[in-house]
Each structure stands twice: as structure tokens, then as C-alpha cells.
Amino acid sequence: MEDHGSAALRGLLAAMPEAILETHARLGDATASVDPSRVVDVLRHLRDTAGLEFDMLVDLTGVDHLGATPRFEVVYHLLSLRHHHRVRIKARVGEEAPEIPSVCGVFASANWMEREAFDLYGIRFRDHPDLRRILLYDEFEGHPLRKDYPKERRQPLVGPRN
């Protein structure tokens, strides 16, 4: 029996080959690396295409590949509730101005996940409806999940808010 994730990857390659940079599927781990400018189109295709129906964004996170170019990666884990299969989509963004389109218009659940990636990695999500810190206070300096963030760094003290 064919793996649904592998079928999704083949469908993506057939439907939008210019958006797909690389794919692999090993041991049920179906992954596509995509052009970051096309991530909204790719996720919408996976959600809306009959037979695929990846209707749940399970997770969205950032990865810091310090020393690599491009440095950052945004990773989306999708689940098809109907077919009980998963697929992973990855998109790389540069270090100088890490930015990628928001997918909140495709999956509303991306809202807080994108805010978390912004807060902890400094990745900006273009056209996000409310991109601001979600875990750290406004005066916090830097992004603590970046690999070059100094672990002993002292942060500004802030008093109680009224």
C-alpha cells in the first residue's frame, strides 16, 4: 500500500514543480523543502486538494542552522485527519532579515505558532494579523533560541505594569 505522504509529495511536484526545491520520504517521513515565497500556495494545495486534505497544522517552528546559508528554517507539520497521514514542509530564510509569508490565512492555528517563532528566533511573518511577542516581555533583547544567543546574557529588569 502506498504511503499517503509520498503521494502528497508527488502531487506537489506535479502541481507546482517550481515551488518545490527538494523532497524525501523515508520510513513514513514525507518532507518537502519549498521556496519560501510559495509556502502559502503549497500549504493551501495540501489542504484543499481532494485526496490529500491535510486539514490540520499540527506544529510550526523555527530551526537555526548557524553557519549555513540561508540560516533559518521554518518547519510546518501537517496532518490529514481523514487519511491519518502526515507531511512536513520546510522553507529556509536568510539571516539578515529572516522573513516568510504568514500562513494564518490558510491555517488560523498558525497565529500563535508564528508569534512564538518570531519571539524566540526573530523570524518575521509577513502579513501576520498581530505579530508581537507572545512568551517574552517587550523589553527583552534578542531571540533566545538562536544558537548565537549568549546563555549568560542579562536582560533589562522591568517593574510591575499598571
Q: What is the pLDDT of residue 1?
A: 40
Chain position carrying cell 500562513: 103
Task: Please give the Cα distance from 160 to 162 (Å, whole number).
Answer: 7
Residue 62's CB is within 10 A of a number of other CB atoms, namely 24
Quote the pTM value: 0.92
> Residue 101 belongs to what H/E stretch?
strand 99-101
Q: Is 3.40.50.11260 the CATH classification of the domain at 4-126?
A: no
As a whole number of angstroms, the distance between CA 117 and CA 133 comes to 9
Q: What is the pLDDT of residue 7?
A: 84
Nearest to 68 by CA among 44, 95, 42: 95
Please say whether the beta carbons of 144 and 152 come within 8 A.
no
For the chain of 162 residues, list the mean pLDDT of each consecutive stretch of 10.
74 94 88 98 97 96 98 97 94 97 98 98 98 92 93 74 62
pLDDT at 17: 96
The rounded distance, in Å, linking the Cα atoms of 44 and 40 is 6
- Cell digits of residue 63: 530551526
Q: Where are the domains of the chain?
A: 4-126
